Structure 1
Amino acid sequence: MDNRSKHIPSPKKLLYDRIAQQGPVSKLDLLNIFSLTKSTMNRLLEEMTKEGLVIESGFGESSGGRRPILYQINPSYGYILGLEVSRVYSSLGLFDMQMNPKSIVHWRMDQTFTPEKFLDYVVHQVRVFLRDHQLEARQIIGMGIGAVGPLDRKKGLILQPLHFPATGWNNLPICQLIEERTGIRSVLDNGANTALLGERWAINGASIQHMLYVHVGAGLRFAMMSHEGIVYGTMDMEDAMGQMIIQTDGPRLNNEGNYGALEAFVSVKALEQRARTVVSLGSDQILNRYKVKAEKINYDVLVQAFRDGDPDATEIFIQAAGHLGIGLANAINLFHPETIILGGALIHSHESFFRTAVDVAKKNIYRYSEYLPHFSLGTLKEEAVVTGAAIIVRNHMVL
């Protein structure tokens, strides 16, 4: 299923989506939104109520006559699975139709998590969810997958992801494999897009037209939303921000990508490499305090050193935050979104990392005095990807 298809939704689907988005809503409110006659609206609401798509949820405020009946989508019409495929942590969530999480599990990805083991684990967790919530497989509407790119969304393929700890992930038909193993229809998008959809849903009700989401971890992942819709390019854009050049003829990360690209300064691998360079130049504070050898310095050690106030680790992280701020300013200057949400391991390493990146970004935003964007750590955080993945399935229901 191509989540960029030009399929024109039916009036019933448009009505369902509006009720899902707005929450309890009256017939009059819906008539003010849609160019439908009162009889057509009555017919559609009756059909949707009979089919179990929507339910009556009480009465609204009276404007002089009888109090109007309010409608909302039926949370138990069906259930949706959201799956995150990531380099460090992956997740699986079960949601009702109102996106209330029923169960969510997270697990650490390591060199043993080949696609075969990953699929075995997902299938097992799906069975656990069904058992725990006394559901049958036919009640599952579908599974949305938010994965590390690059992707071919139309074909449901994970193409050539970088920095995966296990082998076998290149050109992986993830949707086909999920459907074969579970019988559940699946749809694929990159994790940055689904995270942005999830975070936008979490702040539903706010008047936000343009948003930017940036995830900073093993790599840099980003997504853009304009006029409430995800912005798609000809190619999968998830890793594009990481390849933004911020220093001409600068370093490359693992001899891949652009020279001087942002990911060579701001990513888990970049920070680990920087720490090993510092140690090789004679600074052994981290080695002595945390009892590690130079080649064993990893991100977990660096984060602990940063939080403990180690000067070398602090300098490494704050320099990276400054570079991220420049990258953020460049991205923000392209289309001036109202809200910028930041997530990922580096963002959550310490409050000073987030604060430094935001401060540097603000100083380099064009027309900042006239334009004041809101920077946020998000509401859903580590559950944003699976929530947004589930929303994709609901958005593509055919009614």
Structure 2
Amino acid sequence: MSLQRNNGMPSSKRLIYSHIAEQGTVSKAELLDRSSMTSSTLTRMLDEMVSEKLILASGFGPSSGGRRPILYETNPEYGYFFGLEISRFSSTLGFYDVRMNPMSLTRWRMDEAMTPERVVEHAAANMKAILNDHKVDPEKVVGVGIGAVGPLDRERGVIMKPRYFSSPGWVDVPICRMIEEKTGFPAELENGANAALMGEQWAMRGSKPQHMLYVHAGVGLRSAMMSYGQIIHGSLDMEGAIGQMIIQTDGPRLNEDGNFGALEAYASVQALERLAQSRAKISGGEWPERLQSSPERIRYELLLQELRQNNSHVEELFRQAASYLGIGLANMINMLHPETIVLGGTLINSYDRFYETAISIARKNVYYYPEYEPVFTKGELREDAVATGAALMVWKKMSI
């Protein structure tokens, strides 16, 4: 088994296989409706795919007057995939069969010790243990999909210069080559937001969403867009550009090379930490005593703890940040017109009111609302979306 490295049109065999995979079980008659093949050609192809153990004849469907039709489904043991998320707070390693069923999910914190070399060693050791636990021959592993914080050079498999990693060394990291040398498995790289969107669309495939926007709100802000079911790649792989959307021309900036009044200065983990630190200094003793911390040591985890204790000061900080994110979302929605908006990241998932406030503000500022009313969701996969989408990327490039 190998990965297809070309970008050509998918073969008829690939199209038939993908339709079976998306539907779960399907009859020959349904496949004929989706293809331009003759009945005899499709029959030969299906017989060939069964003999290759690519698909299984799984039983019979209901009769419509004649013989009951044979039903086909993918063979879950045909191949296996690893999906690796590399993010700022934590990383995730997922192991999947051909049906994208998660057989194992492992997470670890990305602290100061997690250099690129250590991450690769840790991931490789976990891959070996997972294969042993599931008694899977390494020869059946098709590859490793990597979803990472950008900017990236996807063609060369290099993580270029991401911000805000706790560990040093995350500059010009040839992550694909490092994984391949350590594991022997081919690797493919995609930015994490794109991978998450691919994973979520797969999970929602029953409703057939085609035009989707994904926004991740965490340490930074990341986004991805899909049109007609295809990820939109720009000339540069800069998934964090949404954070530089200017929403207040005379506003602050989060970093020296960022825009003044950019969204990331109002609606990110770092923005919340800095604002809380500033408020604590201005208020004198009240905030530091309440938080039992000096202003400089206030971190996101402490703010979440205060949210759980109904600290009204911290609740107001989150409400303001969510309102700004809602404005940024409205700007993107008015420009891109997605049918579905998936929101992820620690700001979305750790505090329900943040999510509710953000989508409420976005809805109020969407042009043509309520005639145009996109669907907002936290997604089906949530924190597993990047790893799943990364594995799915390899699945889509599997030679058939």
- Normalising by structure 1, we get a TM-score of 0.97
**Paired residue for 1:352?**
353
Give 1:63 shift. 1.3
**Aligned partner letter, 1:347:** I
Gaps of 5+ in 1: none
Alpha-carbon distance in structure 1 between the residues aligned to 2:324 and 2:63: 55
Task: Return 298-307 or 99-108, whichever deviates more.
Answer: 298-307
2:101 is aligned with 1:100: yes
User: Contact between 2:3 and 2:142, CA under 8 Å: does it hold in 1?
Assistant: no
**Paired residue for 1:228?**
229
2:377 is aligned with 1:376: yes
Alpha-carbon distance in structure 2 between the residues aligned to 1:2 and 1:195: 21
2:46 is aligned with 1:77: no
**Aligned partner letter, 2:288:** L
Matches within 5 A, 1:51-200: 51-200=52-201
2:19 is aligned with 1:21: no
User: Contact between 1:2 and 1:154, CA under 8 Å: does it hold in 2?
Assistant: no
**Aligned partner letter, 2:270:** K
**Paired residue for 2:335?**
334
**Paired residue for 1:281?**
282
Gaps of 5+ in 2: none
Which secondary structure does the structure 2 equivalent of 1:212 belong to? strand
Alpha-carbon distance in structure 1 between the residues aligned to 2:136 and 2:233: 35
**Aligned partner letter, 2:346:** A
Alpha-carbon distance in structure 1 between the residues aligned to 2:172 and 2:8: 27
Count, aligned residues: 399
2:46 is aligned with 1:45: yes
**Aligned partner letter, 1:386:** A
2:310 is aligned with 1:309: yes
2:271 is aligned with 1:250: no
Identity %: 52
User: Contact between 2:326 and 2:359, CA under 8 Å: does it hold in 1?
Assistant: yes
Alpha-carbon distance in structure 2 between the residues aligned to 1:3 and 1:272: 45
Give 1:218 shift. 0.6
**Paired residue for 2:387?**
386
**Aligned partner letter, 1:114:** T
Give 1:292 shift. 1.1
Which secondary structure does the structure 1 equivalent of 2:205 belong to? coil
User: Contact between 2:339 and 2:375, CA under 8 Å: does it hold in 1?
Assistant: yes
Which secondary structure does the structure 1 equivalent of 2:214 belong to? strand
Alpha-carbon distance in structure 2 between the residues aligned to 1:227 and 1:192: 17
Structure 1 residues 206, 155: closer, same or farther in 2, change over 3 A? same
Any idea what the Cα deviations from partners look like across 1:255-280, whole Å, max 9, x if unmatched?
A: 23211111111111111100111011
**Aligned partner letter, 1:205:** G
User: Contact between 1:3 and 1:187, CA under 8 Å: does it hold in 2?
Assistant: no
Alpha-carbon distance in structure 2 between the residues aligned to 1:3 and 1:184: 14
Alpha-carbon distance in structure 2 between the residues aligned to 1:168 and 1:2: 29
Give 1:281 shift. 0.8
Any idea what the Cα deviations from partners look like across 1:279-332, whole Å, max 9, x if unmatched?
A: 111254442133111111000001111232212211111100000000000011
User: Contact between 2:3 and 2:398, CA under 8 Å: does it hold in 1?
Assistant: no
**Paired residue for 1:364?**
365
**Aligned partner letter, 1:147:** A
Any idea what the Cα deviations from partners look like across 1:171-217, whole Å, max 9, x if unmatched?
A: 11100110000000011101111111111111121032211111100
**Aligned partner letter, 2:175:** I
Alpha-carbon distance in structure 2 between the residues aligned to 1:317 and 1:239: 21
Matches within 5 A, 1:193-208: 193-208=194-209
User: Contact between 1:2 and 1:153, CA under 8 Å: does it hold in 2?
Assistant: no
User: Contact between 2:343 and 2:378, CA under 8 Å: does it hold in 1?
Assistant: yes
**Aligned partner letter, 2:84:** L
Give 1:118 shift. 0.7
Any idea what the Cα deviations from partners look like across 1:216-271, whole Å, max 9, x if unmatched?
A: 00101111111111111111141121111111132111223211111111111111
**Paired residue for 2:344?**
343
Which secondary structure does the structure 1 equivalent of 2:16 belong to? helix
2:230 is aligned with 1:211: no
**Aligned partner letter, 1:186:** A
Structure 1 residues 380, 305: closer, same or farther in 2, change over 3 A? same
User: Contact between 2:4 and 2:399, CA under 8 Å: does it hold in 1?
Assistant: no
Alpha-carbon distance in structure 2 between the residues aligned to 1:230 and 1:269: 28
Structure 1 residues 283, 75: closer, same or farther in 2, change over 3 A? farther
**Paired residue for 1:32?**
33
- Normalising by structure 2, we get a TM-score of 0.97
User: Contact between 2:3 and 2:399, CA under 8 Å: does it hold in 1?
Assistant: no
CA RMSD of aligned residues (A): 1.5
Which secondary structure does the structure 1 equivalent of 2:255 belong to? coil
User: Contact between 2:87 and 2:149, CA under 8 Å: does it hold in 1?
Assistant: yes
Alpha-carbon distance in structure 2 between the residues aligned to 1:158 and 1:178: 13
**Paired residue for 2:300?**
299
User: Contact between 2:3 and 2:397, CA under 8 Å: does it hold in 1?
Assistant: no
Alpha-carbon distance in structure 2 between the residues aligned to 1:4 and 1:300: 42
2:291 is aligned with 1:290: yes
Alpha-carbon distance in structure 1 between the residues aligned to 2:259 and 2:60: 59
Give 1:40 shift. 1.2
Alpha-carbon distance in structure 2 between the residues aligned to 1:250 and 1:307: 30
Alpha-carbon distance in structure 1 between the residues aligned to 2:356 and 2:285: 28
**Paired residue for 1:9?**
10
User: Contact between 1:2 and 1:187, CA under 8 Å: does it hold in 2?
Assistant: no
Alpha-carbon distance in structure 2 between the residues aligned to 1:259 and 1:4: 41
Alpha-carbon distance in structure 1 between the residues aligned to 2:372 and 2:98: 37
**Aligned partner letter, 1:137:** P
Alpha-carbon distance in structure 1 between the residues aligned to 2:255 and 2:313: 22
